[in-house]
Amino acid sequence: MSPGVSELLLLGPGPSNPYPEATAGLARPVLGHLDPEFLALYAEVGERLRAVFQTANRVTLPVSGTGSAGMECCLVNLLEPGDTAIVGVNGYFGERLCEVARRIGADVVRVEGEWGKPLDPARLLEAQRTTAGGRARLVAVVHAETSTGVRNDVAPLQALQETDTLFVLDTVTSLGGIPVEIDAWGVDAAYSATQKCLGAVSGLAPVTFSERALARVADRAADKPISSFYLDAGLLDAYVYEPHRYHHTASSVLVSALHAGLGRLFDEGLPSAWERHRRIGELLQGALPALGFELIAPAENRLPQLTATRLPAGTDDGKTRRRLRDEFGIEVGGGLGPFAGQAWRIGLMGHGARERSVASLLGALRVLLG
């Protein structure tokens, strides 16, 4: 292995990453999962997560598992077999939401958008009115589509608050990188992951549930319990908060790392972190077209933290990415779905969102592409 470093942290810091900030907290003492010191740490992580999600939701906690566990946690608590779930699909992670809902036994109604373009929120609201007599259980949408670099406009879905349909939001790539306003947007359940713009190591999935979502969970528990024991929001609540009833053995190492990561985020200031992601993303996006790279997402809905770009004609995708990794220590993601082999996904997330990341990628591309 090269002493190589991942300058562009699409999937989060690796063991030899050049951003030591991302591993802060990992060396703290290991604590038992019911140690009062650990429970105090958990409570503080909950407070910090409420601040970053911009919510007053009492049940806001890190699920033990990656972002996908957060997705499963939100859907398995709110859906049961036969429920209707409306899902916005304009990329890979929208597809995954459909698959998770389908496995729970829900009837999935897809509201499709073209990959690389934002979803039309009016079509999602229209689907809510016209599906299942206006009684669909939930509408689920990905805020920042990591497969295409598109930000979906989700604030208008606040109108779901006036219906019986819950609003579920994937904030895995958005949280910490661009504004996420759980309460102002009327989001009932949201999930994220620690390794993207929160800039910690992977392994935890922050989730938050509104009182309306919890009422649904409580309703269900009365007659038919949630099919997942591990991801049951009521059991997680009783573990993380009073009465601290044993449920599973959470990793104090990961919770410490998230605690430290969120601490650094608030030291910088959330608005400053958003501004840094915006500035660094625009630096890269401003320079790529001159090298022959065409940006996929439209400017108004383009994410700064994830740039999807078509390769210049004649560029060998696999070979160029391999050389970037082996010779320059830079990792970029390949295209997904219809973009496989034709596009790249360049992540500038968390600590990776720095001038030097952009400078080293642009320098390497000038060498590799002539």
Ligand X SMILES: *Cc1c(COP(=O)(O)O)cnc(C)c1O
CA distance 238 to 209: 14
Long-range pairs for 280-283: beta carbons < 8 A, 24 or more residues apart: 280/304, 280/348, 280/353, 280/354, 280/355, 280/357, 280/358, 281/305, 281/307, 281/348, 281/353, 283/355, 283/358
Are 182 and 197 within 8 A, CB to CB?
no
Are 197 and 347 within 8 A, CB to CB?
no
Among 22, 193, 265, 348, binds ligand X (CB under 6 A): 193
Among 13, 25, 67, 261, binds ligand X (CB under 6 A): 67
**Among the candidate windows 154-162, 170-178, 214-222, 279-287, which touches ligand X by CB under 6 A?**
170-178
Pick the closer one to ligand X by CB: 143 or 247: 143
Pick the closer one to ligand X by CB: 170 or 237: 170
What mask of x and - would describe binding to ligand X in positions 96 to 135, judged by CB under 6 A?
A: ----------------------------------------
Among 66, 161, 163, 315, binds ligand X (CB under 6 A): 66
According to DSSP, residue 312 is labeled: P
- Please report where in the chains the tokens 């359940």 appear, as a residue: 189
Pick the closer one to ligand X by CB: 31 or 154: 154
Q: How far is the CB of 64 from ligand X (least distance, A)?
A: 12
What is the footprint of ligand X within residues 70-99 (CB under 6 A)? Answer: 71, 93
Asked whether position 172 contacts ligand X by CB under 6 A, the answer is: yes
Are 127 and 152 within 8 A, CB to CB?
no
Spell out where the chain has E strands: 59-64, 84-89, 107-112, 138-142, 144-145, 150-151, 166-170, 189-191, 204-209, 294-295, 306-310, 333-334, 343-347
Output the residue with the shortest Cβ distance to ligand X: 67
Total binding residues for ligand X by CB under 6 A?
Answer: 12
Cβ neighbours of residue 13 under 8 Å, at least 6 residues apart?
A: 6, 19, 22, 23, 195, 199, 201, 350, 351
Are 52 and 265 within 8 A, CB to CB?
yes
Asked whether position 315 contacts ligand X by CB under 6 A, the answer is: no
Q: How far is the CB of 349 from ligand X (least distance, A)?
A: 10
Asked whether position 173 contacts ligand X by CB under 6 A, the answer is: yes
Q: Smallest Cα–Cα separation from 166: which of 181, 185, 152?
A: 185
Pick the closer one to ligand X by CB: 297 or 365: 297
Pick the closer one to ligand X by CB: 69 or 226: 69
Asked whether position 227 contacts ligand X by CB under 6 A, the answer is: no
**Among the candidate windows 61-69, 150-158, 178-186, 263-271, which touches ligand X by CB under 6 A?**
61-69
Cβ neighbours of residue 310 under 8 Å, at least 6 residues apart?
A: 293, 294, 296, 339, 342, 343
Q: How far is the CB of 337 from ligand X (least distance, A)?
A: 13
CA distance 301 to 307: 11
Asked whether position 346 contacts ligand X by CB under 6 A, the answer is: no
Pick the closer one to ligand X by CB: 39 or 118: 118
Asked whether position 228 contacts ligand X by CB under 6 A, the answer is: no
Q: How far is the CB of 65 from ligand X (least distance, A)?
A: 8
Q: How far is the CB of 71 from ligand X (least distance, A)?
A: 6
Q: Smallest Cα–Cα separation from 194: which of 96, 94, 70, 279?
A: 70
Alpha carbon dihedral 134, 140, 144, 146, in 10-degree steps, equals -130
Asked whether position 251 contacts ligand X by CB under 6 A, the answer is: no
What mask of x and - would describe binding to ligand X in positions 128 to 167, judged by CB under 6 A?
A: --------------x---x---------------------
Report the Cα 229 to chain-centroid distance in Å: 23
- 178: tokens are 């661009």
**Among the candidate windows 52-60, 63-71, 119-127, 157-165, which touches ligand X by CB under 6 A?**
63-71
Residue ranges binding ligand X (CB under 6 A):
66-68, 71, 93, 142, 146, 170, 172-173, 193, 202
